[in-house]
Amino acid sequence: MILACAISAGIHAALVPVHLEENAAAGGGFVAAAAALALLAVVVARHLGRIGPAAAAVVFGGLIVSYVFATTTGVPVLQPEPAVDGLALVTKAFELVGIVAAWRLVRRPAAAGVRLARPIPLFLAAIVAVFSAFAGLAATRHHSGHAGHGDHDAHLHHVKSHETVPGA
């Protein structure tokens, strides 16, 4: 579950600049998600109680539900137009795994003085978060055309302006 927090935090952090270009509210939402996920990774790794995993499950669930709304109806102010993205789907898959792991930790019977789980070291979670951020940046740059392909919107405009009209 700590890894799911780290992966999702890294990807959300990497996407902050892209969403800030859209609007401040969307960028702020990604900052809040990245910060909450990073904090939850630390809390779960350090305290190993049931509150951390339960909070992580709630945050993961909220992120998944908000993405469902964003892709089906849009979210006013944050993302008015529905859009599906492959990187987001991968992120949601990790968050779903995080929910399952959190649920297992919350449901596990606790013996007196026994820790719920043996966490991964925080430095490893940080490395995973940074790697995920780089992967998120790479995926975003490739998708948006910044990897040497020029402006994606300009390319689409160029293609549309050179289409032939049927019957002309």
- Residue 67: how many CB atoms within 10 A of its CB? 19
Side chain identity, residue 126: A
Per-residue pLDDT 10s for the chain (168 aa) are 899 999 999 999 999 998 888 888 888 999 999 999 999 998 888 876 789 999 999 999 999 998 888 888 766 656 656 566 788 889 999 999 999 999 988 887 665 444 545 667 788 888 888 888 888 888 877 655 443 333 434 433 433 444 444 444
* Sequence ranges of the domains in the chain: 2-109+118-161
pTM for the predicted model, two decimal places: 0.72
Cα–Cα distance, 86 to 145 (Å, whole number): 15
Cα–Cα distance, 158 to 52 (Å, whole number): 51
